[in-house]
Structure 1
C-alpha cells in the first residue's frame, strides 16, 4: 500500500524515537521533526484512523504491524543511503538530509539493486 511521504516520515520518526528512548509520545515526534504540536496531533489522529499506530490512555504511541512494516522499510533505506553517501565523501549532515529525500522515491527494485551493489562493494575482493 502506498502512503504519503509525510506519513512515512512520521512512522519512521516514531520508530527512531522508540529505539532511542524506549517510549514515544506525540511531543517527542514534534520535537524530533521540528513540527508544531497541533500538526503532529492531527497526523497521529490520521495514522491511528488508518491503522498504523495505537495510542494508549497515557498517550504512548506504538506502531501497529502495518505501521512497523512501513517505518522499518523507510528507516533501512535512510540508514543505507546515509552510509553510502557518507562513504562517497558527502558530509554527514548533507548525506542524512539527501537520504531523507531519496528514501521515499526509490522503487523497491532500485533500492534492492543499490543495496546489493553497496554490499558487494564493501566485501574485500579476492585475489
Structure 2
C-alpha cells in the first residue's frame, strides 16, 4: 500500500488486489482488520489512506524490502524478478537485528572484499547460465 500511495498518490482496493494477486474481497477483509488496528483509514468504495501509525510501519517494511532486494541481487546474485518476490516475503518476518546485520555485511563485503564478491557473483552467473542451457 505504501508503494501505491507513494507512486499513485491514492490506494484503491483493485490496485492492491492486482498487486497482491488476490481477489478484491480478500483485500477488503484485510483492510477492515488493518483499520481496526489503526493502520489505515478505510470506508468501502473510498480511497484508502495510511494513518501515521500505518505509514511508520510501511516505511520500515519498505526499507527492509529495499535492503533485502539489494542483498539478494548484488550480494547473492539472485535474478531481480526472483529477488523482488522473495524480498516481499522476507520483509514481513525478518527482525531488526537481522536487518542491521545484513546492512553491516553488505557494507563489509563491498568495502573489504570486493574481489571475493566479484568472483562469487561470476561463479554463480556461470553456473546459472550452464543450468539454463
User: 1:124 Cα deviation (Å)?
Assistant: 8.2
Map of 1:7 onto structure 2: none
The DSSP-based 3-state class of the residue aligned with 1:105 is coil
Task: Return the index of the structure with the highest Cα Rg.
Answer: 2
Give CA-to-partner distance per residue, 1:20-79, whole Å, 9 cap, x none. Answer: 111111111111111101111111111111110003686111111111111111111111
CA-based RMSD of the aligned residues comes to 2.1
Map of 1:118 onto structure 2: 106
Q: Are 2:81 and 1:61 aligned? A: no
Kept in 1, the 8 Å contact 2:32–2:42? The answer is no
Kept in 1, the 8 Å contact 2:38–2:53? The answer is yes
Q: Are 2:95 and 1:107 aligned? A: yes
Larger RCO (CA within 8 A; separation ≥ 6): 1
Q: How far apart in 2 are the matches of 1:22 and 1:77? A: 22
Segments of 5+ residues of structure 2 without an aligned counterpart are 114-133
Normalising by structure 1, report the TM-score.
Answer: 0.77
Which residues of 2 match residues 1-127 of structure 1 at below 5 A? 14-55=1-42, 59-87=46-74, 88-123=76-111
User: 1:119 Cα deviation (Å)?
Assistant: 3.4
- The number of equivalent residue pairs is 112
The DSSP-based 3-state class of the residue aligned with 1:81 is helix
Q: How far apart in 1 are the matches of 2:43 and 2:30? A: 16
